[in-house]
Amino acid sequence: MTQLAQHPFTLLSNSRFRPSETYGEHRSTLLNAGALARAQSVITTWPGYAQTPLCSLPALARSAGVASIHYKDEGSRFGLGSFKALGGAYAVARLLCRELGQQLGRVVSHADLQSDPALRQACADITVTCATDGNHGRSVAWGAQMLGCRCVIYIHATVSEGRKEAIARYGAQVVRTTGNYDDSVQEADRDARANGWFVISDTSYPGYMDIPRDVMQGYQLMVHETVNALPQWPTHVFVQAGVGGFAAAVCAYFWERNAQQRPVFVVVEPERADCLLQSARTGAVVAVKGDLDTLMAGLACGEVSLLAWDILATGANAFCTIPDAAAVDGMRLLASPTGGDPVIVGGESAVAGLPAALLAAQDSSARAALGLGPDSRVLLFGSEGDTDPALYAQLVGRSAAEVLRDGASA
Ligand SMILES: Cc1ncc(COP(=O)(O)O)c(C=O)c1O
């Protein structure tokens, strides 16, 4: 399989994008090189830290008529299966330093947390919480376990038992709520207020900015690793989005580092959960109603994170939506590559950038609108592996282990 079947997709050029706009002071207070260096100095000390692979897909690039396609594969990140390991856990670490610093009236560093038994004892009296449909909750639970604080995670009715167990494995108390995701957010919030717990959310809203900012700073380590491993600066980046924090962290990195040579930046969403595209079309943040029914569970978000919007509203060149079937084709394409490309296990929320890039490359007007051509160097972020193994096997037709075994023997 070297080519993607035709699928309907939408590409909206962002009329608010200004190529000469500077990164600016406002955005610099949010995501900057200093904050990334701090995140790097913390995260790289955690047990099991290793850079995730950056895979080159030359056969796919040839068939798409571009110079190169690189795919950063986050499936092995800290054994948690997704890039989210970088964000929630880092936000837990930052929160504990801030909170204990306030209690003790002195600066508490991450190194202090790890080396001082009295601080470790104090961490045990702090509880963090969040609502999640999977990856973010896993990261918060893992960070809490690593740093010795308590953790209560709320999941809604349809989160799979497998995902529940994956969170509980990190010592968190997992509470299953009866309603949908929004109900679980409200329940987490209510219990946090009643019990003096700290909500670690990956999305921002008025009055709640510090923790989602820390989450995004953690994500930037993934971009930094990628840029250091790339042979050349990319010309095009396609990134999938839920609330937009992940895409904004990537966009901000390129913008801050080299405003003159920003890659063409495309935000990709499921067609049934397109809050960023709708916000871009309207020119202001809009919430998408409805059941947000998509296989891409991590991207099934109806409301944009305000911090992310600050960056993407004028920083993204275009917004794109794809149907679920295109994402499934993307997973299969990575699982059964031809022409010598490596086999990659990408989960249903991981791969959306790939079909978006290939569909755009196959379509003459999208190709022209994005300036895709034989010299283009396309960068994609594969944000998870098979974080729901049963669903992965059902969609691809083989388990991740079988895909990798078949790839090794091919
Ligand atoms: C695998 C995966 N990719 C991408 C995203 C999107 O991240 P964000 O919600 O910050 O846009 C998520 C969110 O949960 C995810 O789990």
Q: Known catalytic residues?
A: 84, 133
Nearest 5°: the CA angle 72, 75, 79 is 130
**Tell me, what CATH number does 338's domain have?**
3.40.50.1100
The Cα–Cα gap between 261 and 255 comes to 8
Do 111 and 58 have their domain in common?
no
Q: Is a pLDDT exceeding 60 seen at residue 63? A: yes
* Percent residues over pLDDT 70 in the chain: 99
- Check if 352 has its Cβ closer than 6 Å to any atom of ligand 1: no
Of 171, 201, 231, the residue that ends a domain is 201
CB distance 87 to ligand 1 below 6 Å? no
Strand partners, 154: 131, 175
Is residue 393 located within the same domain as residue 275?
yes
Question: Which one, of 27, 25, 143, lies nearest residue 78 by Cα?
Answer: 143
- Does residue 373 share a domain with residue 253? yes
SS3 264: strand
Residue 1 has pLDDT above 60, yes or no: no
Q: What is the DSSP string of 69-120?
A: EEEEEGGGGGGTTBGGGGTHHHHHHHHHHHHHHHHHTS---HHHHHH-HHHH
Residues 225 and 96 in one domain: no
DSSP H helical ranges for 258-383: 275-282, 306-315, 324-335, 353-362, 364-370
Within this chain, do residues 290 and 266 fall inside the same structural domain, yes or no? Answer: yes
| 5 domain residue, yes or no | no
* pLDDT per residue as tens digits for the range 190-240: 999 999 999 999 999 999 999 999 999 999 999 999 999 999 999 999 999
**Residue 209 is encoded by which pair of tokens?**
């900015």
The reply to whether 189 and 248 lie within a common domain is: no
- Confidence grade of residue 359 (pLDDT, cut at 50, 70, 90): very high
**Nearest CA residue ID for atom 16, ligand 1:** 298
> pLDDT by residue (tens digit) across 105-125?
999 999 999 999 999 999 999
> What spacing in Å lies between the alpha carbon of 384 and ligand 1's midpoint?
9
Atom 12, ligand 1: which residue's CA is nearest? 298
User: What's the CA angle centered on 72, arms 23 and 85, to 5 degrees?
Assistant: 80
Q: Domain boundary at 183, 201, 219, which?
A: 201
The confidence score (pLDDT) of residue 399 equals 98
For 376-388, write each residue's pLDDT tens digit: 999 999 999 999 9
pTM score: 0.97
Assign 289 a pLDDT band (cuts: 50, 70, 90): confident
Q: Sorting pLDDT into bands at 50, 70 and 90, what band is 134? A: confident
pLDDT at 345 over 60: yes
273 lines ligand 1 (CB under 6 A): no
Considering the domain architecture, whether residues 176 and 190 belong to the same structural domain is answered as yes
**Does residue 167 lie in a domain region?**
yes
Rounded to the nearest angstrom, the distance between the alpha carbon of 298 and the centre of ligand 1 is 5
In a domain, 1, yes or no: no
What is the rounded CA–CA span in Å between residue 281 and residue 10? 12
Looking at residue 157, what is its pLDDT? 85
The verdict on 293 and 320 lying in the same domain is: yes
Q: Are residues 92 and 76 in the same domain?
A: no
Q: Are residues 134 and 277 in the same domain?
A: no
Final residue in a domain of this structure, among 201, 224, 252: 201
- Higher model confidence: residue 159 or residue 376? 376
Task: Give the pLDDT of residue 410.
Answer: 75
Which of 246, 296, 391 to probe ligand 1 with, by most ligand atoms within 8 A of CB?
246
Do 393 and 332 meet the contact criterion of CB atoms below 8 Å apart?
no
Q: 352 — phi, psi (to 5°)? A: -55, -30
Q: Is residue 277 part of a domain?
A: yes
Q: Which domain range does residue 270 map to?
A: 10-82+211-409
First to last CA, the chain: 14
Q: How many domains does the chain have?
A: 2
Same domain, 381 and 274: yes
